[in-house]
Structure 1
Amino acid sequence: MDRTAKTRNFLKIHPSDNVLVALGNLTAGAIIEEHENGITLKENIPAKHKFFISDMKAGDEVIMYGVLVGKLQSAVEKGQLMTTANTKHAAGAYGYRDAHYQWQAPDASKFTNRTFLGYKRSNGKFGTANYWLFIPTVFCENRNLDMIREALHNELGYAVSDKYTRYTRELLAAYQAGADISHLDLSPAATAKEKRYFKNIDGIKFLNHTGGCGGTRQDAETLSALLAAYADHPNVAGITVLSLGCQHLQTEMFLKDLKKRNPSFDKPLFVFEQQKAQSEEQLIVDAIRTTFKGLVEANKITREPAPLSELTVGVKCGGSDGFSGISANPAVGYSADLLVALGAKVLLAEFPELCGAEQQMIDRCVTKEAAEKFIHLMQTYDALANKVGSGFYMNPSPGNIKDGLITDAIKSTGAARKGGTSPVVDVLDYTEPATKAGLSLVCTPGNDVEATTGKAAAGATLILFTTGLGTPTGNPVAPTIKLSTNSTLAKRMGDIIDIDTGGIITGEKTIEQMGEEILEYCIKAASGEVIPKAVLLGQDDFIPWKRGVSL
């Protein structure tokens, strides 16, 4: 029987790699023809996993994406599967070396005169959405926020749970009538916009959190800067703040950070302090009534054309798989390069997922100061993790590993591709705002929600979020666009996926074609012409980073 693979069901990412990636399930005994060097597979190779192209001994370096991603713990044979048993994380040393990085920008001419319809703020920035924001300065106010959310969302048409409330009502009615409820389906309902009273208010958002008191003063200070960043965000029209009164994060600290971030801040901002209120009921009634008046005014703001240079796009991956680094991430990376070529801002974060890609990032920094700041933040972060018995090498989750991301360096070098190839114009610590056109690195954990929370704080008005396994993560103020790395996921979890990049794996589309399609979708999402699934589902995840060990 002819067991030679007749199609290129595998991929060599970089000429110097000594492993190949299976694009589909490969069978033991199959012969893989790669550069006239036949490889007989020693075992079944699941799709997304890697196998070795030559015999190697313990201690040998494993190269993928053209860089060191691991070292062998035992000898392996040509055609053998890479596993956590035979390969452990390893990454090359890095440092500043004044590389004089040269970048060839992609042809973005078809987008040069394009615009999106955004909300212009008084400081000249454009938002892609028009949100009203509720902020608690301390976790003690979360319950009050929950009651306000239920009241406003239900009555003004923003409640995502409406359909489930209606379904429960239908179940109860059927049960009381003695009907069989085993197959009672959810009946259709009006679309979100049809139910809304304020047509130009895209959402009322609530930043419930667990901080503000009880932790360190440094935690309160970081949280204050984070909340100020969200209040100043271009997608926010106005803010209602609820405070208890005695907490570490005093209202005065928050207002000071807000003015520090934007000295000309002039959005409507209403503050209510419970310990000065007549009663809890009065606090809630006053907050609702005052906010309602604010919503009436914010609803008068309408969209107007803005150049694509006014976009700030965060790029993120989560629930990654073995295809992330060869389909969705490079496609997003091409979109990122187009955006940079058009004068927009792009934010690449998740520092634990740049482990192994550090030298590439350093070489791309336009200044020595930026490179040294990146090195300092990376080394400080990793040292903190190692101090408690962890480290960046422990980043891959069980799901990542099961789907082919065996070491952190493999995961990271693939993750870094979503930042494209443009120069790094700035390096930002957590909560620092992006002020320069081009690609900026933002210090955040790899944790999905902590990372997206940090990107929005840096100013992301849209977030491109790639996933190979599926994740329901979103953000309260930055509409989050989900991209699947493979078509199987897009079909199975179509309710959360906006864009399927699986065509890159099958060869139906190129990275460049997919990258342009992603940018087209971004323009529509920024204009309110399409609403990303994460927004429709109310996936408003918000987790402040306490600067502890979070991978």
Structure 2
Amino acid sequence: MNARFLKIHPRDNVLVALTDLKQGEIIEYEGKTWTLAQDVPAKHKFTTESISAGNHIYMYGVIVGKAKMKLSVGQVITTQNVTHEANSFGEKTEIASWTAPNIEKFINKTFKGFHRADGQVGTANYWLIIPLVFCENRNVEVIKDAFLEELGFAKPNPYKSLVRQMKALYQSGKVQEIDTLAAEQSIIEGTHPLFENINGLKFLTHQGGCGGTRQDSEMLCTLLAGYIHNPNVAGATILSLGCQNAQPAILRDKLEHLQTNFQKPVSILEQQVEGTENQLISEAIKKTFLGLIEVNKIQRQDAPLSKLSIGLECGGSDGFSGISANPTVGHVSDLIVALGGKTVLSEFPELCGVEQELINRCVDNSIAEKFSHLMSAYASAAVKAGSGFDMNPSPGNIKDGLITDAIKSAGAAKKGGTSPVVDVLDYGEYLQKNGLNLLCTPGNDVESTTAMAGSGANIILFTTGLGTPTGNPIVPVIKISSNTQLAERMPDIIDFNTGPIINGEKSIETMSEELLDYIISVASGDQLTKAQQLNQDDFIPWKRGVSL
């Protein structure tokens, strides 16, 4: 890799600056030489040829934009001179084929997981406490307050001591010294838990279950059933008010749909049946505690890597994400698929422009047609709401070189590697087939990770170029930096750094093998991710309105 700039695909007519390039620098590439007429910040793109107004910008070998005006050689592309444009898509035109990567290093490796009666294997062992409706959120919070510290799952808050110090300075008339204080920087571990084989109690409060559409309430039950069915979950306590749209019967039906004669311990309590709040909460606490005693008997045992179900996510992306972090995750996906496991790529608004490639990778026409239908329906809904996929890049994305949704999408799709697409799932559907799956979700980080956990992912890989403090209540989220500067600036957020790819120190293949070793250690419980250490338990169900 050139230390200063990179051409990703032979068809591209732009180069990516790998470091800040200054006005007046001489660029020599593929027999051409020109002088930069302006500064090019790292992560941004500049043209390799003159491009007329209306002509296409190519990157990753696909259309990623259209010139608004004539662009000269070496000109930086920006939102002022380029607009979103993407490849169209249609029917499947190729037969999916694939050369699997070498898995000799991993073929006999295992992870220590929690084996479930249905054959799934968890990378963690959680008990869930869930309200079926937002009216029960307060009761869930009361139960949370009662349980966590007493069972040893609570972690001390380092900022309480900061407030205590400020209070003392204020009371002693030394306000000017407040600016010199600093909160404790280290991540503080909780006390030793009472139940050594349980990773924690997780509380999935939300704003749904009633008051919206019946469809949203039913979809919430589908999502919650997926969380209870997830291999990382041992059992659950459910609080219902009684009169809401999201009825316990709907949840039971969803659980039975996932597994006939559902075997995990699940207790459902209705406040309007139990009577007083005290009776409801006391009964919920007793049933939960007795359930914890039983699931604490489950211990980690060796499991093949084929039992891993890996979610593939990106958030806070930058101009390096599609060059380092995402291709690394993509190669990990290929390794997992070759080993017989499952991977899932979501965020449909961030697949805009690469649809045809994914359609051609589908193993049959029915799967390809389902993907095409979901993409078209989603795009149409966005337009009807006065938006569109072209509005997907955030200000942070644009600032760091992702100026169109097509550029962002072409890089984001690299997380899916090169393996065939074995299945396409609508939101709420559960992973069934080994191989690469596509899951319809928004590009919103938390809505997407929430959905992947509900579809059965037991590990989530989350790439970022800007730093995103996102986790999940039940699935370990491994944060992967696209650049070394981010990893050094936010070490409390980042678990794994692919920056060495950018400076040429390591290859994508080497980094992906190192990442898979790290995944195995997390899946075995030997390491906690930064998101787990920080209790980043983000949970946002998607209401099927437009969300990008």
* Same fold, TM-score > 0.5, yes or no: yes
Gap regions ≥5 residues in structure 1: 1-5
Please state how far the C-alpha of 1:188 moved relative to its aligned partner. Answer: 8.7
Structure 2 equivalent of residue 3 of structure 1:
none
Aligned AA for 1:318? G
| 1: CA distance, partners of 2:448 / 2:186 | 34
Distance change in 2, residues 1:164/1:200 (3 Å): farther
* Shift in alpha-carbon separation, 1:217–1:514, aligned structure 2, 3 A: same
AA partner of residue 155 (structure 1) = E
Please report the TM-score for the alignment, with normalisation by the length of structure 2.
0.97
Take 1:147 and 1:181, find their aligned partners in 2: how far apart are those partners?
34
The CA distance in 2 between the partners of 1:320 and 1:339, in whole Å, is: 24
Distance 1:338 1:150, change over 3 A: same
Task: Name the residue aligned to 2:508.
Answer: 511
Alignment match, 1:221: 218
Check the 8 A contact 2:310/2:460 in 1, yes or no: yes
Q: CA deviation at 1:153?
A: 1.5
Cα deviation 1:178-230 (Å, max 9, x = unaligned): 88655455569995365322221111111111110000111111111111111
Deviations 1:427-483 (A, max 9, x none): 001111111110000000000000001111111000000000111111111110000
**Contact 2:314-2:462 within 8 A present in 1 as well:** yes
Q: 2:78 aligns with which of 66, 80, 83?
A: 83
SS in 2 for 1:513: helix
Q: 1:121 to 1:357 in 2, by over 3 A?
A: same
2:92, 2:356 within 8 Å by CA — same for their partners in 1? no
Give the TM-score taking structure 1 as reference length: 0.96
Q: Secondary structure at the match of 2:105?
A: helix
Q: Following the alignment from structure 2 to structure 1, what is the Cα–Cα distance between the partners of residues 17 and 530?
A: 30
- SS class of match (1:109): coil
The residue type equivalent to 1:51 in the other structure is F
Contact 2:154 2:191 in 1 (8 A): no
Contact 1:236/1:477, CA 8 A, preserved across alignment: yes
2:541 to 516, 519, 544: 544
Whether 1:262 and 2:259 are equivalent positions in the alignment is yes
Q: Which moved more, 1:282-291 or 1:348-357?
A: 282-291
- Structure 2 CA distance, aligned partners of 1:351 and 1:214? 27
2: CA distance, partners of 1:497 / 1:33: 36
Structure 2 distance, partners of 1:532, 1:272, is: 33
Indicate which of 124, 132, 135 corresponds to 2:127.
Answer: 132
Which residue among 335, 349, 352 is the counterpart of 1:352? 349
- Counterpart pick for 1:157 among 126, 144, 152: 152
- Counterpart residue type for residue 71 of structure 2: V
Amino acid corresponding to residue 46 of structure 2 in structure 1: F
User: Are 2:4 and 1:9 aligned?
Assistant: yes
Per-residue deviation at 1:285? Answer: 1.8
Question: Superposition pairs for residues 50-65 of structure 1, below 5 Å?
Answer: 50-65=45-60
Cα contact 2:134–2:208 (8 A) shared by 1 = yes
Find 2:88's aligned residue among 75, 87, 93. 93
Q: Which moved more, 1:281-290 or 1:374-383?
A: 281-290
Give SS of 1:346's match: strand
Distance 1:122 1:169, change over 3 A: farther
> Match of 2:439?
442
Identity %, equivalent residues: 57
CA distance in 1, matches of 2:340, 2:409: 26
Q: 1:25 to 1:359 in 2, by over 3 A?
A: same
Partner residue of 1:337 out of 321, 334, 337: 334
Partner letter of residue 112 of structure 2? L
Distance 1:189 1:494, change over 3 A: closer
* Contact 1:193/1:199 (8 A) holds in 2: no
Taking structure 1 as reference, are residues 538 and 366 closer, same or farther at Cα in structure 2, changes over 3 Å only? same
Structure 2 gaps of 5+ residues are none
SS of corresponding position for 2:16: strand
Within the candidate set 143, 149, 165, 2:138 is matched to 143
- What's the offset of the Cα at 1:396? 0.4
Q: How far is 1:7 from its partner?
A: 6.3
Q: What is the CA–CA distance in structure 1 between the aligned matches of 2:452 and 2:27, rounded to whole Å?
A: 42
Deviations for 1:509-535, whole angstroms, at most 9, x for unmatched residues?
A: 110111111111110000000100001
Tell me, in whole angstroms, the C-alpha distance in 2 between the residues paired with 1:68 and 1:183. 52
Deviation at 1:154, TM superposition (A): 2.0
Question: Given residue 83 of structure 2, which amino acid in structure 1 is its aligned partner?
Answer: K
Give 2:35's match in structure 1, choosing from 21, 40, 50.
40
2:286 is the alignment partner of 1:289 = yes
Q: Which amino acid aligns with 1:548?
A: G
CA distance in 2, matches of 1:189, 1:371: 48
Aligned match of 2:382: 385
Task: Give matches, 1:407-446, under 5 Å.
Answer: 407-446=404-443
The alignment status of 1:367 with 2:352, answered yes or no, reads no
Q: CA deviation at 1:281?
A: 2.0
Between the aligned partners of 1:213 and 1:416, the Cα distance in structure 2 is: 36
Q: How far apart, in 2, do the equivalents of 1:161 and 1:446 lie? A: 33
SS at match of 1:154: helix
* 2:481 corresponds to 1:487: no
- Alignment-derived partner of residue 326 in structure 1: 323
Q: Secondary structure at the match of 1:110?
A: coil
Amino acid at match of 1:415: A
- CA drift at 1:49: 0.2
Asked if 2 retains the 8 angstrom alpha-carbon contact of 1:160 and 1:536, the reply is: no
What secondary structure sits across from 1:111 in the alignment?
Answer: coil
Cα displacement (A) at 1:177: 7.4
Preserved CA contact (<8 Å) 1:157 1:192: no
Alignment of 1:223-238 (within 5 A): 223-238=220-235
Q: In the aligned structure 1, how far is the partner of 2:297 from the partner of 2:535? A: 24
Tell me if 1:303 matches 2:303. Answer: no
For 2:286, the aligned partner's letter is R
Matched residue, 1:475: 472
Alpha-carbon distance between aligned partners in 2 of 1:436 and 1:46, rounded to the nearest angstrom: 43
Whether the aligned pair in 2 keeps the contact of 1:160 and 1:537 (CA below 8 Å) is: no
Measure the CA separation in 1 of the matches of 2:460 and 2:249: 31
For 1:205, the equivalent position in structure 2 comes to 202
Give the C-alpha shift of residue 165 in structure 1.
3.7
Name the CA shift for 1:48/1:190 in 2 (closer, same or farther; >3 Å). Answer: closer
Corresponding letter in the other structure for 2:88: A
The answer (yes or no) to whether the contact 2:345–2:436 under 8 Å persists in 1 is yes
Change (3 A) 1:147 1:173: farther
Asked whether the 8 Å contact 1:30–1:41 carries over to 2, the reply is yes
The alignment partner of 1:490 has SS state of helix
Q: Tell me the matched-pair count.
A: 546
Read off the aligned partner of 1:299 and give its amino acid letter: N
CA contact (8 A) 2:156 2:188 kept: no
- Contact residue 92 and residue 368 of structure 2 kept, 8 A: no
